[in-house]
Amino acid sequence: MWPALQAAQRQRGQTGKNPNVGAALWRHGRLVDVVATGDGGRPHAESQLNILPGDVLAVTLEPCAHEGETPACARLVADARPSKVYVGCLDPDPRTSGHGLEIMKEAGISVQAGICEHKARHVMAGFLTRMIHQRPHVRLKLAMTRDGRSALADGRSQWITGFEARQHGHLLRAEADAIMVGAATFIQDQPTLTCRLGLSGRDPEIFVLSGREEISSLPKNVQILGTSGGQQDLSQILRQLAQEGIGNLLVESGGRLAASLLQAELVDELYCYQSDLLLGANARSALGALKDQELLLPKGMIVKERRQLGQDQLTRYVVER
């Protein structure tokens, strides 16, 4: 499953409304092909393989069972008669869920589902969260000093973290369908929010969450979200984004929006980049006020990974629901 997972990971944020499925094929014990869903969601992964009888196939998501503009992948696989198919996780799409496995089993193929399921769910989290919870999978990115500050009192924030940490942040952009920022951050920083990793064509859509601030000139790749001036209903906004097909959402925000999202239990992963700087209590907080906070991490959140990025540290938290 590992080559299939890697291929799926590389297509994260590139497949539109469709899942970023990865597939790998073995023949006589040798890996012969590795593919993933194409840009924009087509072609499906399995349909790019030339499967011969006796091959072994690993695919991160249950092959689709519906005939659309193209034949069902489960049917393609069944007709090709591989000896064994390993599946990461079931497809929550009701047109497929379980039927894809059935089609292959009825053709006499040995099918094993739930292989590296946890990892498969992580890699395809955008699609799965959108299908199951009708909202995008939300990654919140915070860059802060050792004392939890994101900018000086006058708003200056270049640079809190160093080169390596910022490069890592660009990787998150490459894996996002869209980036959401608060209006204040957008005006203050005028961020370009592009993915500057030399990976062309991987710039996500940009949404600015409307606030009290007036945004005068808007670049054409940027859209405004929410009602002007007031408090935003974040669940509603995320539902709207999911309807538009956004599965992988990266939030690069100031402290207030970050706190609101955490408080509303709408964050699935938190990437916290921390530098050695100390700015003191007059500087701006990277994380705004949390109501009724106890001496605990927000509900369901655990530390999943900690690593050094140049001079800075990344702590990755995930929320297990």
Q: Which residues bind ligand AOF (CB under 6 A)?
A: 18-19, 21, 37, 41-42, 44-46, 61, 63-64, 68, 73, 91, 93, 96
3-class state of residue 111 by DSSP: strand
Six token digits for residue 295: 């001496």
Would you call 320 exposed, middle or buried from its count of C-beta atoms within 10 A (0-12, 13-18, 19+)? exposed
Q: Which stretch binds Zn ion (CB under 5 A): 42-50, 113-121, 163-171, 187-195?
A: 42-50
Minimum distance, C-beta of residue 216 to Zn ion, in the bound complex (Å):
45
Amino acid, res. 284: R
Regarding 49 and contact with Zn ion (CB under 5 A), the answer is: no
Name the pairing type of β-strands 301-309 and 312-319: antiparallel
Minimum distance, C-beta of residue 206 to ligand AOF, in the bound complex (Å):
25
Regarding 80 and contact with Zn ion (CB under 5 A), the answer is: no
Answer whether 287's CB lies under 8 Å from 148's CB.
yes
CB atoms within 10 A of CB 69: 5
Minimum distance, C-beta of residue 244 to Zn ion, in the bound complex (Å):
22
Answer whether 145's CB lies under 8 Å from 277's CB.
yes
Regarding 21 and contact with Zn ion (CB under 5 A), the answer is: no
Could you tell which of Zn ion, ligand AOF, none binds residue 19, using a CB distance below 5 to 8 A set by kind? ligand AOF
Interface residue with Zn ion, options 8, 35, 61, 64 (CB under 5 A) = 64
Cβ proximity to ligand AOF: between 77 and 184 the closer is 77
Answer whether 93's CB lies under 8 Å from 64's CB.
yes
Regarding 99 and contact with Zn ion (CB under 5 A), the answer is: no
Cβ proximity to Zn ion: between 99 and 168 the closer is 99
Name the DSSP letter for residue 54.
Answer: T
Cβ proximity to ligand AOF: between 93 and 312 the closer is 93
CB atoms within 10 A of CB 133: 15
Total site size for Zn ion, rule CB under 5 A: 3
Regarding 73 and contact with Zn ion (CB under 5 A), the answer is: yes
Q: Which stretch binds Zn ion (CB under 5 A): 8-16, 58-66, 128-136, 182-190?
A: 58-66
Could you tell which of ligand AOF, Zn ion, none binds residue 37, using a CB distance below 5 to 8 A set by kind? ligand AOF
Give φ, ψ of 61 to 5 degrees: -130, 145
Q: Choose among 15, 76, 11: nearest CA to 42.
A: 15
3-class state of residue 200 by DSSP: coil
Regarding 85 and contact with Zn ion (CB under 5 A), the answer is: no
Does 46 participate in catalysis according to the annotation?
A: yes
Cβ proximity to ligand AOF: between 151 and 241 the closer is 241
Which residues, 6 or more positions from 84, have their beta carbon under 8 angstroms from its beta carbon?
56, 57, 109, 110, 111, 112
Minimum distance, C-beta of residue 44 to Zn ion, in the bound complex (Å):
3
Degrees (nearest 5) of the Cα angle 261, 273, 292?
35
Cβ proximity to ligand AOF: between 63 and 226 the closer is 63
Binding site for Zn ion (CB under 5 A): 44, 64, 73
Residues serving a catalytic function are 46
